[in-house]
Structure 1
Amino acid sequence: MSETPKGILDSVVKDPVRVRMAPSPTGYLHIGGARTALFNYLFAKHHNGKFILRIDDTDTARSTDESMHEIYTALKWLGLEWDEGGDKGGPCGSYVQSERKAIYDGYIAQLLESGNAYHCYCTPEELEEIRAQARADKQTRSYDGRCRDLTSEAVQRFVAEGRKPTVRIKMPETPIRVDDIILGSRNIDPATLEDEVIVRSNGMPNYNLTSIIDDADMQITHVIRGTEHLNNTPKQIVIANALGLNVPQFAHIPLVLDSSGRKMSKRHHGDLVAVNRYREQGYLPEAMLNFVVRLGWSYDDKQEIFSVDELIGKFDLARVGKSGSVFDIKKLEWLNSHYINQLDIAARTDAVIPFWQEEGLLNSSVEDRDWLEGIVEAVGERLTTLQDIVPQTSYFFTDAFEYEPKAVKKWWGNSEEKRENTRAILTNISQILEEIPTFDIETIEAAIWRYTDENNIKRVAAMQALRIALTGASFGPSLFDIVALLGKNEVLKRIPKAIAHL
């Protein structure tokens, strides 16, 4: 009987823990990658270990420096600082795979000399014929191993033809045991595995070879990654055993799914899975961490909010589930709103200023800090993202806004009689505001209420008429906060403009 995941876990946390995040710099860091990084980070910190960032860029055609730096930026924004690798370096030499080819070449030579690997001279056309025949014969292997025992004459002939060989690892004839901290232990039938290509015809080693070599060279003790890598695990174990390398403990975490149960991916979900998208829209890193950690890990049904220190203290791979976790954007929005509201007004203002500036509402030099903090305080707990500050407050910075048609129809009126009544209300309020001696909230409120009550005008009708005149909308912060923050001159300029629109 195989060991339980907990039994496996109990036996593998004795040595100093070293884990790694190994993204390929072929695009942005996605939500699944962020979760992998977070789980590795928390596991390392929980066990006083090391979190290593390695760049798996052997796919030279698609790897870019821009993507690599974007990954750095996203991880640093999340607060997932690595101990070694990336742009920090460390005791294991280069942590960028494209700079480690000489190391891989030595191991490849060792595999060829020991007979555990061989050159394959099959052309793409021949390989397609082999695959087609395997499908017709309902074979699980799509390569028949025909180059395993080539004669020297055959090799010379292929070389003379100009064929560029790949290198394949020989799969064993006995079952391959895979121990997984989360999924448990299982034996893989070797009949289901073909001889894996470990070096491409251009001489570049592939993922399964470089990954397990680097894990051993960097003394990685645990490989925590998504279940999409599950099929790679027995192949990597075979390579490690053939080279006499230590095999790390594996922990495959569940997929991140959309509401329909489909895997979240760049191909199907686009920017929805891009971590930097959320940073640009004004999500806070604390909210992202709290959201991402619950995509597979659970503590209890009572606690929703965790500090990073709490997560480090509580994180345990035994609490990571096997089934996929659903990406719920509403949950992320709730968390983000919570963390925004936890910021004091000064910190919240610091956080939203870049969004005003990006929209061109505010220049780079912030001249009236108190006024900006007043706007943020007036908005209160209405922000789901920091970016929401722009549509909710743009009228403070400019009067170049449209009057919402539905609001106009409801509160200004859809008949000439009603519009004339609104003109009168706005005209009278304008005169009142022009005459009040002190333009503060209490004085403004008292003066307007006195006018509405003495003239038997519904307060809500007067407030909404004025709100639309000043902001173009029928909702938002307290009207009296808006009036005070805009100031007398701006208010007295906007009311006549609204009357003219009527």
Structure 2
Amino acid sequence: MVSAPPSSPVRVRFCPSPTGNPHVGLVRTALFNWAFARHHGGTMVFRIEDTDAARDSEESYKQLLDSMRWLGLDWDEGPETGGPFGPYRQSQRMDIYADVASRLLAAGHAYRCYCTAAELETRREAARAAGRPSGYDGRCRELSAEQTAAFEAEGRSAIVRFRMPGESITFTDLVRGELTFAPENVTDFGIVRANGAPLYTLVNPVDDALMEITHVLRGEDLLSSTPRQIALHRALAAIGVGSGALPAFGHLPYVMGEGNKKLSKRDPQASLNLYRERGFLPQGLLNYLSLLGWSLAEDRDIFTLQEMVAAFDLADVNANPARFDLKKCEAINAVHLREMPVADFAAACAPWLSAPHAPWRPGAFDQAAFDELAPLAQTRLTVLSDITDNVDFLFLDEPVRDEKSWQKAMKPGAAEVLVSARARLTGVAWNAEDLKAAVLAAGEEHGLKLGKAQAPLRVAVTGRTVGLPLFESLEVLGRDRTLARVDAALAELAASA
């Protein structure tokens, strides 16, 4: 199914809060907004929702910008880019929100509410006990001047509440179709705290109106706030804030984690930093995240961002929850790794071939030796950080000691196989083909196939039972270092006999 193209130039917004590390659900939302804007030749607005001084931090703000750049999700308007509707940090737009709130009050679209938190909770509990909706009951909706004065005399502070119209609100969600919210389920809500700080419920609709946002694509968890935002948009139009055009809303499916729970910031696999640290490719991670609620085709999971942009249609977004599958994410990343030009792959590995990731001494790394094995490593890696363990045998003075690998390979008879292999390796031409033939022949002396014969040799030389193709690895390691490691292993076996 292909949806009709928008009738006006597309303007979408991505407006995260700078609190903590970015998480993959947030990235999925950014990706869908970005792909929708790019598909329609529209504008991607990057807006920072930083009105909560207690939770927001400058470090998280910088991390957001860095993450978006690493992912390659560029923006047309926003921080460090500018644009006609700036500033794009809500903390720098407080005067705008204060002015709009006062105009809403003056026009009767909002009112001051003096109810205390304790009073509100008491009335909510009573409503729940009676089986009624527990939203705000409108107690302060029509206060007289005398009642207001009495509350003020008590020293009560007031929040500003928006006055809902008291009628059903119906809209067509771009993902879920037509939805209707009854008035008893969408009651008056706060838009300004008692200390004068504006709430999310005010600032986002105000910014959407002033920045001429045409499409609001966001998570399903925000669906319940949409009728409130629609009502507020209509009130903003009535007082001359924005163009009066109501944005279209689309709510993206939940991303589920373990069990049947929504993936939360606290889940380890939710942190974007985890994927960066492990060496996921941006294109691999984004490819997988795009599948959480959308697909290019039923029989195709691997594609580029450019292919996604060309095909992206909100009509193809599935409303059902999507489950995050780390194994599938890794598998898709591995495909993107293999499809890189080998020179690009080798360059991408660089951060994991030096401190603090590399366990070898400074100066031990040999670029030429690495370049020889890079094409072989590229076919085996899942993430870039895997490269360190795959090539460390080349640059360590001695191979790592993995006890499980040693116990598995150095069983009775291993010393005899190593002695036979060493004898044949001593005089053979040092290339992968001849090295393989030598070890094969050594194994045959003991009635072993190649796989069994090469196991103790691999552990003696690399320290592990698995790794890059052994004989190509030995060719790069060199005759002297290979034989020295075999001798060391034989000495250890003799000492423990």
Using the size of structure 2 for normalisation, the TM-score is: 0.91
Alignment partner, residue 215 of structure 1: 208
| One-letter amino acid matched to 1:288 | L
Alignment partner, residue 321 of structure 1: 318
Q: In 1, Cα distance between the equivalents of 2:282 and 2:392?
A: 25
Residue 178 (str. 1) matches residue 171 (str. 2): yes
Q: In 2, Cα distance between the equivalents of 1:300 and 1:226?
A: 23
Q: How much is the aligned-residue C-alpha RMSD, in angstroms?
A: 2.4
Which structure 2 residues correspond to residues 296-375 of structure 1 after superposition, within 5 A? Answer: 296-357=293-354, 358-361=356-359, 368-375=366-373
Determine if contact 2:360/2:392 at 8 Å carries over to the other structure: no
Structure 2 residues without counterparts, runs of 5 or longer = 238-243
Cα offset for 1:241? 1.2
SS of 2:63 mapped into structure 1: helix
Which structure 2 residues correspond to residues 468-487 of structure 1 after superposition, within 5 A? Answer: 468-487=459-478
| One-letter amino acid matched to 1:161 | E
Cα offset for 1:453? 5.4
Q: Structure 2 residue aligned with 1:423, among 415, 420, 425?
A: 415
Residue 200 (str. 1) matches residue 193 (str. 2): yes
Aligned in 2, Cα 1:461/1:42: closer, same or farther, shift over 3 Å? closer
Alignment partner, residue 491 of structure 2: 500
Determine if contact 1:25/1:68 at 8 Å carries over to the other structure: yes
What are the Cα deviations for residues 188-245 of structure 1, in whole angstroms up to 9, with x where unaligned? 2112222101111121111121111100100101101111111111111111112214
Using the size of structure 1 for normalisation, the TM-score is: 0.90
Q: Structure 1 residue aligned with 2:270, among 265, 268, 273?
A: 273
How many residues get paired? 485
Alignment partner, residue 229 of structure 1: 222
Cα offset for 1:475? 2.5
Determine if contact 2:358/2:388 at 8 Å carries over to the other structure: no
Residue 488 (str. 1) matches residue 479 (str. 2): yes
Identity of aligned residues (%): 38
Determine if contact 2:205/2:232 at 8 Å carries over to the other structure: yes
Aligned in 2, Cα 1:229/1:395: closer, same or farther, shift over 3 Å? same
SS of 1:492 mapped into structure 2: helix
SS of 1:119 mapped into structure 2: strand
Cα offset for 1:40? 0.9
Q: Structure 1 residue aligned with 2:383, among 352, 365, 385?
A: 385
| One-letter amino acid matched to 1:221 | T
Determine if contact 1:225/1:253 at 8 Å carries over to the other structure: yes
Q: In 1, Cα distance between the equivalents of 2:408 and 2:269?
A: 37
Which structure 2 residues correspond to residues 27-106 of structure 1 after superposition, within 5 A? Answer: 27-106=20-99
Greater displacement, 295-304 / 37-46: 295-304
Which structure 2 residues correspond to residues 375-414 of structure 1 after superposition, within 5 A? Answer: 375-398=373-396, 399=398, 401-405=400-404, 407-414=405-412
SS of 2:27 mapped into structure 1: helix
What are the Cα deviations for residues 375-429 of structure 1, in whole angstroms up to 9, with x where unaligned? 3233352111111222333222222522434x44454324xxx3xxx43443454
Q: In 2, Cα distance between the equivalents of 1:164 and 1:46?
A: 48
Cα offset for 1:118? 0.7
SS of 2:217 mapped into structure 1: strand
| One-letter amino acid matched to 2:175 | I
Structure 1 residues without counterparts, runs of 5 or longer = none
Determine if contact 1:468/1:474 at 8 Å carries over to the other structure: yes
Q: In 2, Cα distance between the equivalents of 1:242 and 1:89?
A: 28
Q: In 1, Cα distance between the equivalents of 2:311 and 2:447?
A: 62
Residue 288 (str. 1) matches residue 285 (str. 2): yes
